[in-house]
Amino acid sequence: MRTNLKSSIILALWATFSLLLSFPTPSLQQPQVTPSTGVRLQNAYVALQAWKKAINSDPNGFTSNWNGYDVCSYKGVYCANAPDDSYVMTVAGIDLNHGNISGSLPEELDLLTDLALLHLNSNRFFGTIPSSFSHLKLLHEIDLSNNLFCGEFPKALLCLSSLKFLDIRYNHFEGSIPSAVFDLKLDALFLNNNNFTSTLPTNLANSPVSVFVVANNNLNGCFPAEITKMGATLQEIILMNAGLKGCLPSSIGELNKATVFDVSYNELTGTLPESMGKMESLEQLNVAHNKFYGKIPYSICSLPKLENFTYSYNYFCGEPLQCMRLQDRDDKYNCPPLRPYQRSPEECGAGLSAFFGGGRGGGEGWEEGGAISG
């Protein structure tokens, strides 16, 4: 989504400092870097050479020209004028996406003090994130996704006040998600497909993110009610297969800027709150593979922008006719009669009785709510 922003992200960052940047292009003469060149490019040479030594496989030759002092000519390395001195050239961005490179990240990378963008998506980098990354104070965007990094959440990243985009999905990070990550002024946070096992911290609502993805972890707790306080900014919420339990809070409708809301493959139960009908920006809603029951509120299927509504593999007993008019929906394996591919009455009764702790509640709930309502 944002991994192809190279020059635009760096330009935006430098604009913060009220300076105009222009990246070198093939039609312009590249700066010649020699041992007598400024300290920043000398430091960049030391850092990049240390990194090259830490790489043990580069099948696509991304670093094959990482030789000599002219670091601005290295493949994947982008130079620009320094934010604090327009007469000084410095390394502003590195993009090695889809390089299939294997190796580790050396501590010397902290010498790249003006680095604004670091993209390492889809490689085979392993090990932990160096603690020296805490010195990269201008880092605006970091994408470490689709690698083999491990260990606890990289705490060095928590020191980066300029960070706006943080993507560490599809790695092997484990342990708890530190509360400090939600105090960063991020626009997008991708933590999905790791081995995080903690519950989401209570300061979750401090985060101004517009995109929050923490799917395919084991958060082992209740749905975080604090998330409803993020309605001013949150646009995409993906908590699929995150080990969540409990009910959706009645205040969920406060997420009225959300376009995507996905809580599928959890252990959520209860009814869908009526307030979800206030989520007027919603385009995709997925609550499949949970233990929801009752009737689907008419207001949900009447949302003006809703295109996709997936609520299969639950115990819903009634769905408004308005739902039938949606462009893309999936209602399989629920409990309304007269609809194809549904659970049997026996399975519905047993499931609902379990939710209500036995007694008449489950069976009656299925009978009374069975008809499709308009």
The residue-averaged pLDDT of 96-109 equals: 98
Residue 259: per-residue pLDDT: 98
pLDDT band at 37 (very low <50, low <70, confident <90, very high): low
Which pTM was predicted? 0.85
Residue 2 corresponds to which tokens in the numbers above? 């944002």
Report CA-CA distances (Å) from 215 to 193, 236, 255, 263, 278: 6, 12, 18, 9, 24
CATH architecture of 1-140: Alpha-Beta Horseshoe (3.80)
pLDDT digits (tens, 9 = 90+) for 303-326: 999 999 999 999 999 999 999 889
Residue 358: per-residue pLDDT: 55
pLDDT band at 338 (very low <50, low <70, confident <90, very high): confident
pLDDT digits (tens, 9 = 90+) for 239-269: 999 999 999 999 999 999 999 999 999 999 9
Is pLDDT above 70 for 11? no
Q: Where are the domains of the chain?
A: 1-140
Interior/surface letters 325-361, b for 16+ CB within 10 angstroms, e for the rest: ebeebbbebbbbeeeeebbeeeebbebbbebeeeeee
In the predicted model, what is the mean pLDDT of the chain?
88
Residue 164 corresponds to which tokens in the numbers above? 């706006």
250, 307, 306: which is closest to 276 by C-alpha? Answer: 250
Strands of the 55-57 sheet, one edge to the other = 55-57, 102-103, 124-127, 148-152, 172-175, 195-196
